[in-house]
Structure 1
Amino acid sequence: MTVGGKMKEAGQQIAAGGSAGLVEVSLMHPLDVIKTRFQIQGGPQGEMYGTSMVDLVKKMYRTEGALSVYKGILPPILAETPKRAVKFFTFEQYKSVFLFGAPSPTALTFTLAGLCSGLTEGFIINPFEVVKVRLQAERLRFSQQTSAFTLARSVFRENGFGRNGFYKGLTATLGRHGVFNMIYFSFYHNIKQYFPEAKSPKLEFGRKFAIGLCAGTLASTINIPFDVAKSRIQGPQPVPGEVKYRTCFKTMKTVYAEEGFFALYKGLLPKIMRLGPGGAIMLLVYEHAYDWLKHNT
């Protein structure tokens, strides 16, 4: 393939990945807010947001307004296009790196490419995650909430890009995205080959959606301890002025010791409800957008 052809292909992958991210976050963001609220409560704070999804949503609606489930959506919207573009583009590039001389991708190829794409994605997205979690944790009505840009300026002014600023919780973010993408891409591409393509477009859509749903659900279940640690580190601390949650694995150890094993799985239900179907939506939108771009650009 010529240099021009490679650049065109890269542009198509980036555009398709960005489209997939924008569609997914627009549909599924409320579940991400609910997940974050569950993950940051615990210990001395008790059940400050709610004891169940229904209870939490009722409290948010009553005290913060109907739009409260869309808190923190601007950073993901601004980030999702480049974030998902990076996810899918780097996955395609890493696939060629990890062929190891094989004529076509192997199971190991998909696994390593997924891991590396997740680590790349996590590094790029961490500043947006810091702002998003802070916004999602605010217990104010939507109209009273701090703007994403104001909060971002505040974080930068106070702590810059360091471990207490935009790259706070980086290890946990890398773990979350690395593990998720490794399982997500590996499961989808390895399992898909065992289920033959359906002749009916509707059945083929259902086949891909079901495999994508399983991939997103499995990846979400396995990586959630990193997600909990990330939310605790980047969110408000139990005692104002005191930093309790500093590093990824120490935070996991603290949560486990004080709140038990299942505290590492807080927010699992809304996470699965978001990234199960959300994972399927992303793969389907990406594949259809990429296919359309290849045939029309």
Structure 2
Amino acid sequence: MDLEMFFEQLINGLTLGSTYSLIALGYTMVYGILELINFAHSEIYMVGAFVGLAMVTVYKLPFAVALVAGMLGSCLLGIIIEKAAYKPLRKANRIAPLISAIGVSIFLQNAALMIAGPQARSFPSGLNIRTLSVGSVHISTLQLLILVISIVLMVGLQFLIQNTKLGQAMRATAQDKEVAQLMGIKIDSIITFTFAIGSALGGAAGVLVGVYFDSVDPTMGFFPGLKGFVAAVLGGIGNIPGAMLGGLILGLVEMIGAVYMSRYKDAIAFAVLIIILLVKPTGLLGRNVQEKV
């Protein structure tokens, strides 16, 4: 692989990795609060893409509005799922909400197949996409836009978590729900808000990926959802900076590895996960936490 191709694959990897990071944040935020893997998150990502597509194709609205609408649609869906499928099982054993999450995922995917049909749909962004040349390296303005939007969303989330009272309440809830409740924090509201923010980020990723690949379909969430989960575990499940880092690393490794093993592009993500877990089971930024008894 020559230097020019390396830098282009680097840009491709960062672009794709930034969307993995957005998906991973949804997984890791929910796990940090509830210690629950929300396997319906991949379908929330898919629904966000379809909402954005509808804004562009049916209502002829600009891409910026479609992106916000996709985030709001996914946010609302995340809240509904939390209230209907997870909240009633909050005191049940851990396997019950896990089965509920898988059930919601299957339901949403089949509902989308019934409503939209199995065929892939083109996502016309309406953006004036150009190719920029830096020396012999070519970068599209769409790639730069996706990177900028993803970075802004991730920085915004980090600011919310670290510098606001709401973020402080989320961190307290993640650390110890019982103590947080004794301090006056409304646990139910914090959990709902966590689902809402994580789902909105997943919806943003869905719209961005739909535009990037110019394709949206009801099964589009399967592999990105798995890779977002891999990114969350890779960085350290429950760790927000870890989810961001894990997504970027996964995108880079996948794109660069695809040059040599294009047929095994999807397998590379899971190979990386296995290697990292063998070396550092808690993930790159994860820490060992002793169980309370």
Q: TM class by shorter-chain length?
A: 0.3 to 0.5
- Please, what TM-score do these two structures have when normalized by structure 1? 0.33
Indicate the structure whose relative CO is greater, using CA pairs within 8 Å and at least 6 residues apart: 2
- Please, what TM-score do these two structures have when normalized by structure 2? 0.34
